[in-house]
Amino acid sequence: MSNETTVIGSRAGIDELEEFRTAALGHIEWIFDFFKTVREHPVTSRISPGELISTLPESAPESGEPLDCIFEDFKRQVFPSLTLWNHPRFFAYFAISSTPPSILAELLSAAMNVNAMLWKSSPGATELEQVTLAWLRQWLDLDDGFFGIIYDTASVGVMQAINAAREWTDPECRTRGMRTGLTVYVSEQTHSSSEKAAITLGFGQENVRRIAVDGDFRMRPELLRAAIKADIAAGKKPCCIVASVGSTSTSAVEPVREIADVAEEYGVWLHVDAAYGGCAAVLQEMRHIFDGVERAHSIIINPHKWLYVGFDCSVLYTRLPEIFRRASSLSGEYLKTDVDGQVVNYMDYGVQLGRRFRALKLWYVFRYYGREGVSAMLRESLRLAQLLKGLIESSDEFELVAPVPLSLVCFRHRGGDEFNRRLLAEVNASGKAFLSHTVVHDRFVLRFAIGNFQTSENDVLETWRLIRSAAERIASQGEFRNSSQ
């Protein structure tokens, strides 16, 4: 039998695939143990800046090294340098999950190394993307006029959406370049990726209007209308509005139906950033957060935020895929195929040519949990957020600072900004939980985001105890003794 498994580049005498098999089993065992013992690990990395760099060689090795030696160094050097986003007490930013089915799909995707740029470049990757995005669309009750595309992140997706809005508003841009006067509308609470996209696309920051929000941090449609009117009167051309369903800072759900009225009245593209919040719309009882979303020209939902799919995977739906194609497609001769026109070539819907096979992990996760399993996990996060909200409301020392429509709880100690800064630092330094912060109405606020698939009621209660005891300790220290009210 010929030795077809020997690969050029392998170390002398080593059968690379046999070594891979042994090492892979060891890696999987280690991942299993990691999940079993995850709470014993600190959530946040303890290293100081530059520490990992200083322990690693300055140059790559001349000769190859055994996989088990590399793996040992991962465990000894790299693993402790990581902040564990897949930890059940990771409550910072938006808590996310890479679940077992998602991890297995990533492994297969890495092994196949498929490029989903064209249908022809690997037909199943494109078709699985079409199938899984149709499944998700049904779960969200969006009609089948919505065409789905997977991007890596919502930041890239919103750039493509604003690019499509530009094409729709002023088709000459594609050939003649950006004309001045196109404007974009976000709220004061919209994620910075929308403004960044506008900057990148050449709109100019001075053509981005940041509409003020109401007491619940939601864009005020009457101010949006006034801004658009004023821009038209000044000779500007309103191009795109971005409304949020689940804003980053406080998870505010903006009044999309009223915003859609304004968009339609003035013929402006409406993009809905539902990167985090949209995931909850899988639940029938949460469908109200999608009120009016069906009128958007484009919508983004990140399965990598709250649909149990590992990072990265962001889905964009649009009613106008042709506009995306017009805005982005430009194909070299070598990319032409004999089935163009009959199939979807996803490279035509964005700047990216090469595309990872992300649909596989959606397929694994959706099949493994089913709608019931996904819904049960979403409901549990929502329930735990309400539980925490209740605890904060019944406490004398803490106060809620925003409504809790989803699974993010924003609160603060009554001791003032410096107190809360110290509190956050102490909690995070403990390694037992990880929270993040925001600034709301000029006040420093703690964010407690719930969404990891392993987070239990006990994780939330223990962390709440941790926060309270850290607060008591700080309050007992001299400088804060009289400032806790």
Ligand X SMILES: Cc1ncc(COP(=O)(O)O)c(C=O)c1O
Task: Specify the residue for token string 């990691």.
Answer: 34
Q: How far is the CB of 316 from ligand X (least distance, A)?
A: 11
Nearer to ligand X, 118 or 201 (CB): 201
275 binds ligand X (CB under 6 A): yes
Q: How far is the CB of 185 from ligand X (least distance, A)?
A: 16
21 DSSP 8-state letter = H
Q: How far is the CB of 93 from ligand X (least distance, A)?
A: 6
The Cα–Cα gap between 220 and 210 comes to 11
Q: How far is the CB of 245 from ligand X (least distance, A)?
A: 8
Site string for ligand X, 245-264 (x = CB under 6 A): -xxx----------------
Instruction: Answer for the pair 282, 378: CB distance below 8 angstroms, yes or no.
Output: yes
SS3 412: strand
Site string for ligand X, 313-332 (x = CB under 6 A): -x------------------
The Cα–Cα gap between 60 and 360 comes to 33
Please, which of residues 78-97 interact with ligand X by CB under 6 A? 94
Instruction: Answer for the pair 409, 415: CB distance below 8 angstroms, yes or no.
Output: no
Q: How far is the CB of 301 from ligand X (least distance, A)?
A: 10
Longest dimension (CA), the chain: 82
CB under 6 A: which stretch of 142-150, 273-281, 393-401, 452-460 binds ligand X? 273-281
125 binds ligand X (CB under 6 A): no
Among the listed residues 233, 244, 297, the one whose alpha carbon sits nearest the alpha carbon of residue 267: 297
The Cα–Cα gap between 218 and 252 comes to 6
Nearer to ligand X, 44 or 314 (CB): 314
The residue from 276, 317, 357, 434 that contacts ligand X (CB under 6 A) is 276
302 binds ligand X (CB under 6 A): yes
The Cα–Cα gap between 328 and 474 comes to 55
Q: How far is the CB of 253 from ligand X (least distance, A)?
A: 11
Please, which of residues 131-170 interact with ligand X by CB under 6 A? 153-155
For 51-96, give the secondary structure using H, E and C: HHHHHCCCCCCCCCCCHHHHHHHHHHHHHHHCCCCCCCCECCCCCC
The Cα–Cα gap between 123 and 120 comes to 5
Q: How far is the CB of 32 from ligand X (least distance, A)?
A: 28
Question: In Å, how far are 132, 186, 190, 226, 254 from 180, measured between CA atoms?
Answer: 39, 19, 23, 21, 29
The residue from 169, 183, 193, 407 that contacts ligand X (CB under 6 A) is 193
375 binds ligand X (CB under 6 A): no
CB under 6 A: which stretch of 23-31, 207-215, 235-243, 270-278 binds ligand X? 270-278
Q: How far is the CB of 384 from ligand X (least distance, A)?
A: 19
217 binds ligand X (CB under 6 A): no
Token pair of 230 as six digits: 């004023």
The residue from 258, 273, 294, 348 that contacts ligand X (CB under 6 A) is 273
Which residues of the chain form contacts with ligand X (CB under 6 A)?
A: 94, 153-155, 191, 193, 244, 246-248, 273, 275-276, 302, 314
